[in-house]
Structure 1
Amino acid sequence: MDEQRERPGVPPWQRWVERTGRGPAWRSSLLVAVFAQAGSGWAAQEQTGRVALDVFARLLLLLGPLLLVWRHQYPVAVAYGVSAVTLVYIGAGFPYGPVFISLALACFAAVIAGHRRAAWGAVGLLWAGHLLIGHWLYRLLPPAGDGPAPWGQELGITAWVLAILAVSELVRIRREQWSLARAERAAAEKRRVNEERLRIARELHDVLAHSISVINVQAGVGLALLDSDPEQARSALTTIKAASKEALGEVRQVLDTLRTPGDAPRAPAPGLDRLPELAEQAAAAGLTVDITTDGDARALPPGADLAAFRILQEALTNVVRHSGSRTARVRLSWQPRALELRVDDEGPATGGPAGGSGNGLVGMRERAAALGGTIEAGPRPDGGFRVIAGLPLPADPTGAPAAAPREAQTADPTADPAAAPAAVPSQEDP
């Protein structure tokens, strides 16, 4: 806006058009001019006591609509200008009629543009001038022999003035409400887009981090054993291939939601039923995972099932990356209205570079918070690290347990890594 104001040689009305997209109002002003000319001619036939329309009257009836052409660019000047033209028309004794339409539109444009005082001032000027002409100056102004205006007529003029201002204020309020509603819809849409971007970013983070961790560990094993134990190196490469294939499949599933929004995913989202598979993937990276369950397991809502899986996935990934322990204990505590997930490792922290983005714990907290749950993560008093997630759950109306992950199982890192499916956790420094 400052650049436009400083541009030399650009008239103000052009800067207004560039800023607001509204140019001179030629068509509506022409329509008002035609109506004022025709309507005033009909009014002159009915008001025989007024001065007959002449060339001067016709020019005044054209001047008002002509000023309206620039009512969007100069609303204050147009409002006062049309008020003055209308007052001259009335002072000359010409018939009442459509001449007031120009003033109504000028005041309406001023109010809409936010110049309420200017609109009130222009209308007040006309009202005060009409009152002065009708009761004090009528002897000096045409028509000859005219008497004072009846007070009933003044009441009608006053009501007309108030009606113009009331309608203008009503339209202004409605426009502000529409503008506010549009802004709220735009803000809501922006929030929805941001939330969707965050969800997709979190999914990609969780999908890639665990698989990359497994690939990194197995690549190190393969390099170390390439010459001394080719068969073990081959197994490590097989695990890398399986992990990368799994990661690619899940990344493709996430990206499909971007290409075809609203379509159902082609593959089901992971849940706790894949926890044994997650343990096998961790085993391929050299981490023994001991899984225990308390309480009666039951089916979870899809959102809670995915969040529980991703939280456990992230916690195990952190153990692989940041802990010197090669054992992790996962405990699922099923309560009537909540599910508690606990992941413990014995430590100690490796202190080495994690290579992650530092968003793992943040992502876990966001997932839990989206369901109204909590995340507690920190060092244990006896060493190691602990992650506790509490996810609120709806009460099971049937009370019947549902399918759940296998209980009390241990994934052995000595098992054949080639049989382990690829993995999908995330990353964060505890």
Structure 2
Amino acid sequence: MRGSGRWRWPEVAADAALALVLLGFGLLATGLAGDNQPGSRPVDAASRVLIAVAALALLFRRRAPIATLAVVTVATSTYLVFGYPYGPILVAFLIAVYTVAVRLPVRPAALALGGAFVLLLAHVFWSEGPAPGWAGVLPASAWVVVPFAVGVVVRVNRETAARSRAEAARDRAEQARRQADEERLRIAQEVHDVVGHGLAAISMQAEIALHLLPKRPEQAETALTAISRTSREALDELRVTLGAVRQGAERGPVPGLARLPALRDRLAGAGLAVDLRVTGDARDLPAALDLTAYRVVQEALTNVLRHAGVANAQVRVDYRADEVTVEVTDEGTGVRRVGTDPVDDESGHGLAGMRERVAALGGRLAAGPRPDGGFRVYARLPVGPTT
């Protein structure tokens, strides 16, 4: 009745109540049972002591099931060998057998109960009262076999339920871990897109400012103003993105295709002219799809700004009944580079991030050099039909 070094008082109270009920029942009902069993020894002080020992031993049945079974078996067998009538004392024996079966593994429980059964059989052949002989073996075995079988079934069910709960807990923990990993990857991708685009634009504007500063400082001021505006906008967007992982922070509206004109204007200040064309019936899209389409365009234009070596790019957005397509093209070198190393459409981190975003929504992305020069990024994103 100890668990983790502490008394389990509900179990103590339950066992105490059980022992007292069996004690009172045994002392009151055994005499009535003897009236219906001619030839049995009358109930006396010795029988009451044995009844009390068997009942009160159940106080320790959880803490010491084997010892409890031994005490109850000795008391019960002695009671029956003296010829006292069959009565409530056998209920205490039944409970002791059940406790051993439900709390111990099957093999040690079976060994312990085998010894108890042998000791209980003593009254079948040697008793001061009527000795049933071999005819009493089967009834005596029932007081062992039945509670043992019930206890084993209960134990197996408890173990199965415990394993199920443990597996469910592991599944929940694994699911929570996967969700946390996915969320971290999503935030990392968002930060990559926001910071990468902002730094690319700022870098280009800074180069323009440095080029103009010695000869035309008044025009360099325009580039520096653009740097200030771009950095502020990038910081605002980054703040919205990181707000998702701050408890208590309110999420701002996520970017979408409606912000492409602002993106075009920002890139114009960085020296990249973007020809933006939208076809089809523009409409509100699911937030995740709208953000993905915007990020594809943003990342593709950032790559043009960084690597293409051209001053213009084309963006086409087509709203269709069951999908939205975005296409970004340029007439640059056709090979994306990081430093001096070429980055193809499979290994580039930005393009790989685009591909993962689009695939997560059931879409498809194609990116690679154009046959006539330049580079093309094309994404198809499925949407539900309009109603």
Name which of 311, 315, 334 aligns with 2:319.
334
The more displaced of 357-366 and 334-343 is 357-366
Structure-2 change in CA distance of 1:206 and 1:147 (3 Å): same
Distance 1:44 1:209, change over 3 A: same
Is 1:361–2:366 an aligned residue pair?
no
In the TM superposition, 1:140-179 aligns within 5 A as 140=126, 145-148=130-133, 149=136, 151-152=138-139, 154-155=141-142, 157-179=144-166
Shift of 1:211: 1.0
Q: Residues 74-118 of structure 1: CA distance to partner in whole angstroms, max 9, x if unpaired?
A: xxxx555554454444433363233543453444334xxxxxxx2
The TM-score with structure 1 as length reference comes to 0.71
Instruction: Kindly provide the amino acid, as one letter, of the partner of residue 109 in structure 1.
Output: R
**Is 1:284 the counterpart of 2:274 in the alignment?**
no
Q: CA deviation at 1:67?
A: 6.9
Aligned residue among 88, 93, 104 for 2:98? 104
SS at structure 1 position matched to 2:271: coil
Alignment match, 2:199: 212
CA-CA distance at 1:360 after TM superposition:
1.6
Residue 316 (structure 1) shift: 0.5
One-letter identity of the residue aligned with 2:339: P
* Structure 2: distance between partners of 1:143 and 1:258: 82
Compute the displacement of 1:341 (Å): 1.4
3-state SS of paired residue (2:149): helix
| Worse-matched range after superposition: 174-183 or 44-53 | 44-53
Runs of at least 5 residues in structure 2 that lack an aligned partner in the other structure: 35-39, 81-88
Deviates more, 1:314-323 or 1:153-162: 153-162
- The alpha-carbon deviation at position 197 of structure 1 amounts to 2.4
Query: How far does residue 359 in structure 1 lie from its aligned partner after superposition?
Result: 3.0
Indicate how the Cα distance of structure 1 residues 108 and 131 shifts in structure 2: closer, same or farther if over 3 A, else same.
Answer: closer
SS of the residue corresponding to residue 325 of structure 1 reads: coil
Q: How many pairs were matched up?
A: 358
Aligned partner of 2:380: which letter?
A: G
Partners in 2 of 1:65 and 1:390 — Cα distance?
A: 73
8 Å CA contact 1:108–1:168 kept in 2: the answer is yes
Pair 1:381-2:359 in alignment: no
Match of 1:139? 125
Give the secondary structure class of the aligned counterpart of 1:340: strand
> Displacement, 1:314?
0.6
CA contact (8 A) 1:368 1:374 kept: yes
Partner of 1:36: 19
The answer to whether 1:234 aligns with 2:221 is yes
* Structure with a larger share of its residues in helix: 2
Deviates more, 1:83-92 or 1:374-383: 83-92
What code does the residue aligned with 2:318 have?
A: S
Q: Distance in 1 between matches of 2:66 and 2:187?
A: 57
Aligned residue number for residue 86 of structure 2: none
Q: Which residue of 1 aligns with 2:188?
A: 201
**In 1, distance between residues paired with 2:27 and 2:114?**
24
**1:96 & 1:137 partners in 2: Cα distance?**
13
d(CA) in 1 for partners of 2:92 and 2:109?
16
What one-letter code is carried by the residue in structure 1 that aligns with 2:125?
Answer: R
Asked if 1:52 is matched to 2:69, the reply is no
Match of 1:192 in 2: 179
Identity of aligned residues (%): 34
Equivalent position SS for 1:92: helix
Return 374-383 or 153-162, whichever deviates more. 153-162
CA RMSD of aligned residues (A): 3.5
Cα 1:63–1:305 shift into 2, 3 Å: same
Matched, 1:181 2:168: yes
The one of the two structures with greater contact order (alpha-carbon pairs below 8 A, sep at least 6) is 1
Q: In the aligned structure 2, how far is the partner of 1:367 from the partner of 1:32? A: 61
Residues 280-311 of structure 1: per-residue CA shift (max 9 Å, x gap): 22222222222234444333222211111111
Distance 1:290 1:179 in 2: 58
- AA aligned opposite 2:29: E
Shift of 1:157: 4.2
Whether the 8 Å CA contact 2:74–2:119 is kept in 1: the answer is: no
In structure 2, what is the Cα distance between the partners aligned to 1:45 and 1:67?
A: 23
Q: 1:37 to 1:299 in 2, by over 3 A?
A: closer
Alpha-carbon distance between aligned partners in 2 of 1:273 and 1:366, rounded to the nearest angstrom? 22
Distance apart, 1:25 and its partner CA: 4.8
Distance 1:208 1:34 in 2: 70
2:90 partner SS: coil
Q: Which residue of 1 aligns with 2:83?
A: none
Partner SS, residue 241 of structure 2? helix
Deviation at 1:152, TM superposition (A): 4.3
SS of equivalent to 1:291 = strand
Cα distance change of structure 1 residues 216 and 133 upon mapping to structure 2, 3 Å threshold: same
Q: Distance in 1 between matches of 2:23 and 2:50?
A: 13
Call closer, same or farther: CA 1:66–1:93 in 2, change over 3 Å. Answer: same
Contact 1:365 1:375 in 2 (8 A): yes
The runs of 5 or more residues in structure 1 that have no matched partner are: 1-16, 70-77, 111-117, 398-430
Cα 1:330–1:360, aligned 2, differ >3 Å: closer, same or farther? same
Give the aligned partner of residue 303 of structure 1: 288
8 Å Cα contact 1:68-1:102 kept in structure 2: no
Alignment match, 1:420: none
User: CA separation of 1:34/1:302 partners in 2, compared to 1, >3 Å: closer, same or farther?
Assistant: closer
What is the distance in 1 between the residues matched to 2:189 and 2:75?
Answer: 71
Q: Where does residue 320 of structure 1 map in the other structure?
A: 305
Matches of 2:209 and 2:223, distance apart in 1: 5
Distance 2:337 2:52 in 1: 93
